[in-house]
Structure 1
């Protein structure tokens, strides 16, 4: 990284780190006053970041660092998280897990796209909302947009709504855990199959327990791996002239951090990574994830979201409800653990 790049990234990264410290401080206050942690630092970081952006805006000189924190810092956290996951975690589920996740993604794409079209959304916008909801939020939207020739306005609207609804899900989902008779493992599977993006899965599962974080992340990354086949299908059926002369790179279809996650998971399973290093990796992953959560919040402006149009909001909510129903159906395929 050049000095110029570091200077550009620095201010936004410092702000995200500052929000992380503030979130950790509020958690300490919770424990001192209530005797226990009521709201996780990850969730507090998202709320603080969103409030700052919504109330005061985000200065241009902060954007590079916020984007870096929300993307690259998170990717490092995910790779480190792989060291805390063993292949034994999914040994019992095996091919059934893969099949359920694949079916959930496919059915969610169909349901979300159909709902969007019924509400009168244009084809490109409906496709982007469906991809963002069903696969992996912003990453899926950004990957699908050039393939189908989507306009920048459609990309901005779909990203705004999926980001905002994703934050709402992260805030509400953990509060539902005590209401329903499910184990941490089951909750993690449901979160992995329904929450929009990888960082949001981490934020939604961390308040429940380590088992939820591990299986939730694994299931979510399986959903992310569906991005490659889906993008290829979109290129085949919807691409046309939009992708003429372009080639899809392997990096776009399989992001490097997914490969890194599975590599560190395999190293842990083979006992190549010692237990002391595993503890360090888990702690580092938690800190970096909170920094990325702060950046995620800083990227959401609720004023812009609500100004983008009611039909997109309704489409997003209905798509989320359909994904939740599919998640429940998929969860029923597994025995309680």
Structure 2
């Protein structure tokens, strides 16, 4: 009898999150059929629909236990499955110089973006979320970082919403820079892979230029996504040490979240051939679906009015951070001189 109580408490919020996620996926599908691509991806739609639904709930406290459960555990499982799409073979194919350049730009931009956010008055956790989203892989990085730094749902929603909007604008405008900066197909692919947030968006931004831009852009983007594990692990260490105090060493399970261990194990399994291409594709599809469900739950826990209050500062931070990332990526291309003169 006691086991039925948690299920009954969680069920309303879990089922509502699933319903919102289903509507978001249908909306994504409708966009692709009508316009050829999704300008607002399912993940962003899930947050928006969830936030609107929150306003319509008469007794939201009945849904909160299931909403909190879904936002936390569905997302953590999604992060684990995400590791199956990356392998060490990517590192070998891109070369040590390019790998080092990507890592250097990512970590430098984490500091720069965080500094911009704090200068513009963003709270520390919100500034970290924007910095991770800008420097690594947009929404996925924000979603993965949030539980580690114990970010508030409002902060997560706000950072994802404005990052998503600017991400769409980047896809539309970035191809115009190829002729202006006189970039080769390879160089433009590097620039797109370093600055565009989501993997599908990299394809959309590089396809109008050339096939080689698509290949290089996707390769660079995968390496950039691979930085998610080390960055989140580092943030987890810092967060746990601060929470534990200066004189007490935090326990191991607090230093390394289980889902980051799972992410790294998945990456290793893929690298050693234990996970095939078919299985990896299925796991990444499942990861995407679980992330949409988690974001629906996140939206259901958000107060839209608080998000709008922080809108101008967040949008300014995201824009300035993206411009800084664009400049740093272009400088890396010039220094590495990947393409022949």
| TM-score, normalising length: structure 1 | 0.68
Higher mean displacement: 49-58 or 204-213 = 204-213
Cα pair 2:193 2:219 within 8 Å, conserved: no
Instruction: Say which of 274, 278, 287 aligns to 1:272.
Output: 274
Partner of 1:162: 159
2:32 and 2:146 map into 1 onto residues whose CA distance is 39
Cα pair 2:199 2:218 within 8 Å, conserved: yes
1:36-64 residue CA offsets vs partner (Å, 9 max, x unmatched): 34444344334423443467699233333
SS at match of 1:25: helix
How much has 1:76 moved relative to structure 2? 1.8
Partner of 2:128: 131
Q: Which runs of 5+ in 2 are unaligned?
A: 133-140, 179-184, 208-213
1:132-185 residue CA offsets vs partner (Å, 9 max, x unmatched): 33335476576558xxxxxx9xx7885564344334345444444655557796
Q: State yes or no: 1:25 paired with 2:26.
A: yes
1:31 and 1:280 map into 2 onto residues whose CA distance is 21
SS at match of 1:86: coil
Partner of 1:149: none
Go from structure 1 to structure 2 and tell me whether the alpha carbon gap of 1:128 and 1:23 turns closer, same or farther (over 3 Å shift): closer
Cα pair 1:87 1:269 within 8 Å, conserved: yes
1:273-298 residue CA offsets vs partner (Å, 9 max, x unmatched): 34543343233233223323333443
Instruction: Say which of 190, 194, 203 aligns to 2:194.
Output: 190
Go from structure 1 to structure 2 and tell me whether the alpha carbon gap of 1:165 and 1:33 turns closer, same or farther (over 3 Å shift): closer
1:315-336 residue CA offsets vs partner (Å, 9 max, x unmatched): 5553454345435545665848
Partner of 1:108: 109
SS at match of 1:92: helix
Go from structure 1 to structure 2 and tell me whether the alpha carbon gap of 1:213 and 1:42 turns closer, same or farther (over 3 Å shift): farther
1:312 and 1:33 map into 2 onto residues whose CA distance is 31
How much has 1:305 moved relative to structure 2? 1.9
How much has 1:66 moved relative to structure 2? 3.0
Q: State yes or no: 1:219 paired with 2:221.
A: no
Report matched runs for 1:1-337 at 5 Å: 2-30=3-31, 33=34, 36-39=36-39, 40-53=41-54, 59-96=60-97, 99-116=100-117, 118-119=119-120, 121=121, 127-135=124-132, 136-137=141-142, 140=145, 143=148, 159=156, 161-176=158-173, 179=176, 181=178, 186=190, 189-190=193-194, 195=197, 201=198, 216=221, 218-229=223-234, 243-308=245-310, 314-315=316-317, 317-330=319-332, 333=336, 335=338
Go from structure 1 to structure 2 and tell me whether the alpha carbon gap of 1:292 and 1:327 turns closer, same or farther (over 3 Å shift): farther
How much has 1:304 moved relative to structure 2? 0.6
Go from structure 1 to structure 2 and tell me whether the alpha carbon gap of 1:50 and 1:245 turns closer, same or farther (over 3 Å shift): same
Structural RMSD (CA): 4.5
| TM-score, normalising length: structure 2 | 0.67
SS at match of 2:94: coil
Cα pair 1:109 1:134 within 8 Å, conserved: yes
Cα pair 1:164 1:302 within 8 Å, conserved: no
1:286 and 1:83 map into 2 onto residues whose CA distance is 12
How much has 1:266 moved relative to structure 2? 2.7
How much has 1:78 moved relative to structure 2? 2.9
1:41 and 1:335 map into 2 onto residues whose CA distance is 36
